[in-house]
């Protein structure tokens, strides 16, 4: 049984936003217009947070892509009264849109702010209606939605492997965000398969510069981050020794 996880290398991330666009297209996320941004109701299953470091003129932009952490001990799950959000045996935190009644308690109890509520009926311009992904439900008004680790791709790959009577191979498929990332900063895969890239990264790089967001809450997120290598800091450290 696979255990899906992700590694995001912030040293490679350029903040281009391709992951956000790819996710939007793959998962039928409604178009976030300017209005929706101003209302702070934009839906971005993976979002790019931009933080400034330092003072002008020595200022640096820091980017961090934040998808759902798929916590193994997710705080959003027990607070849902209708089991609309639950954990799969493969470690994915799932959302059942048809069960959701929209109490929004899961969003209150998610400290990564990665659960999104459909405040309005989602709309697409006519030109984009034909590009909706047929494998993904279009969510209606009044339900929560979130990153699913591209569950449709997971299911498709597992089904294909079953048809061919073989086990799933390492890195046979990947999520839309990881596929679109030009710098290959996002790596998705089976954490329990030693041959997968994500497992190898977790075993090597994560020990050196890895961390998980809000790890101290004890929710066991499945998304690992590799922190940025600061060349100046490294040089200083080197000369210091």
Interface residue with other proteins, options 100, 187, 198, 202 (CB under 8 A): 100
Interface residue with other proteins, options 11, 33, 132, 141 (CB under 8 A): 141
Q: How far apart are alpha carbons 39 and 116 in whole angstroms?
A: 13
- Least Cα distance to 148 among 45, 223, 76, 217 occurs for 45
Tokens 């210091």 sit at which residue? 240
Tokens of 58: 């020595």
Q: Does 173 bind other proteins (CB under 8 A)?
A: no
Q: How far apart are alpha carbons 100 and 96 in whole angstroms?
A: 6
Could you tell me if 5 and 70 are in contact, meaning their C-beta atoms sit under 8 angstroms apart?
A: yes
Site string for other proteins, 12-41 (x = CB under 8 A): ---------------------------xxx
Interface residue with other proteins, options 4, 45, 117, 225 (CB under 8 A): 117
Q: Does 217 bind other proteins (CB under 8 A)?
A: yes
Could you tell me if 192 and 199 are in contact, meaning their C-beta atoms sit under 8 angstroms apart?
A: yes
In eight-state DSSP terms, residue 169 is P
Q: Does 93 bind other proteins (CB under 8 A)?
A: no
Smallest separation, CB 95 to other proteins (Å): 13
Footprint of other proteins (CB under 8 A): 39-42, 49-51, 75, 78-83, 99-105, 107-109, 111-113, 116-121, 141-144, 214, 217
């Amino acid at each position: 049984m696979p255990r899906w996880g992700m590694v995001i290398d912030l040293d490679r991330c350029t903040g281009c936003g391709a992951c956000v666009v790819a996710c939007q297209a793959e998962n039928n996320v409604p178009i976030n217009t300017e209005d929706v941004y101003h209302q702070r109701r934009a839906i971005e299953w993976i979002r790019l947070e931009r933080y400034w470091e330092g003072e002008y003129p020595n200022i640096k932009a820091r980017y961090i892509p934040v998808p759902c952490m798929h916590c193994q001990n997710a705080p959003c799950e027990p607070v849902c009264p209708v089991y609309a959000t639950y954990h799969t045996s493969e470690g994915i935190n799932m959302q059942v849109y048809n069960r959701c009644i929209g109490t929004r308690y899961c969003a209150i109890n998610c400290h990564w702010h990665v659960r999104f509520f459909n405040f309005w009926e989602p709309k697409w311009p006519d030109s984009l209606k034909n590009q909706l992904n047929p494998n993904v439900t279009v969510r209606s008004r009044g339900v929560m939605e979130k990153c699913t680790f591209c569950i449709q791709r997971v299911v498709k790959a597992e089904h294909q492997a079953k048809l061919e009577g073989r086990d799933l191979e390492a890195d046979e498929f990947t999520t839309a965000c990881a596929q679109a990332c030009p710098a290959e900063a996002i790596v998705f895969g089976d954490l329990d398969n030693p041959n997968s890239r994500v497992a190898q990264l977790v075993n090597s790089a994560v020990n050196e510069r890895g961390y998980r967001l809000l790890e101290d809450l004890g929710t066991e997120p499945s998304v690992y981050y590799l922190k940025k290598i600061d060349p100046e800091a490294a040089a200083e450290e080197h000369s210091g020794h």
